[in-house]
Amino acid sequence: MSERLFVFAVNAQTDVCHTHHSRAQGVTPTLPPLADWLGAGVDTDEIELFTLQDIGDLRLSDYVDLAFAPEDIPSDAARRMNALEGSVLLVPGRALSGDLAPGAALTLIASLPLAQADHSAALPKATMDTLTGGNDAPVIMPRHLGTLPWLILGLALVALILLWVS
């Protein structure tokens, strides 16, 4: 089963901004009872809760596309997301511990599949010939430049000092 992103309209009054960006800036707001709202345990480092005013003129569907890279946002889901007002809660499935059972504080607007890496391919084992370019390829070792770079840097520094002094 693929990872999902749950997009909720928040029916409760809140003006909390808790996003990946705000966490990176060290902002730690007091969060509402998200576990009660979602009916499941939640990793608050994975979710985003904000008012739509916080993203300015950016449509919510565009924000979700940029921030979470879903596989697809169906047009009806994008329409519902872009029509929202107030606050939204974005919850990736990996943030939940337990089955999702949202309460009256939330309305599910969309459940979007998130893009995931596909590691199912069988790759051939690399050989030494592949790594070195074959037996006929010359091995080029980096040259040690010694003091030449330092000499050039020193001369350039002396020239700059002379220009500055005169």
Question: What pLDDT was estimated at residue 118?
Answer: 76
Q: What is the pLDDT of residues 79-98, one digit of tens each?
A: 999 999 999 999 999 999 98
Q: What is the mean pLDDT of the chain?
A: 87
Question: What pLDDT was estimated at residue 116?
Answer: 78
The model's pTM: 0.70
List Cα–Cα distances, 58 to 2, 75, 102, 153, in angstroms. Answer: 27, 17, 27, 49
Terminal Cα-to-Cα distance of the chain (whole angstroms): 73
Q: Sorting pLDDT into bands at 50, 70 and 90, what band is 128?
A: low
Q: Sorting pLDDT into bands at 50, 70 and 90, what band is 5?
A: very high
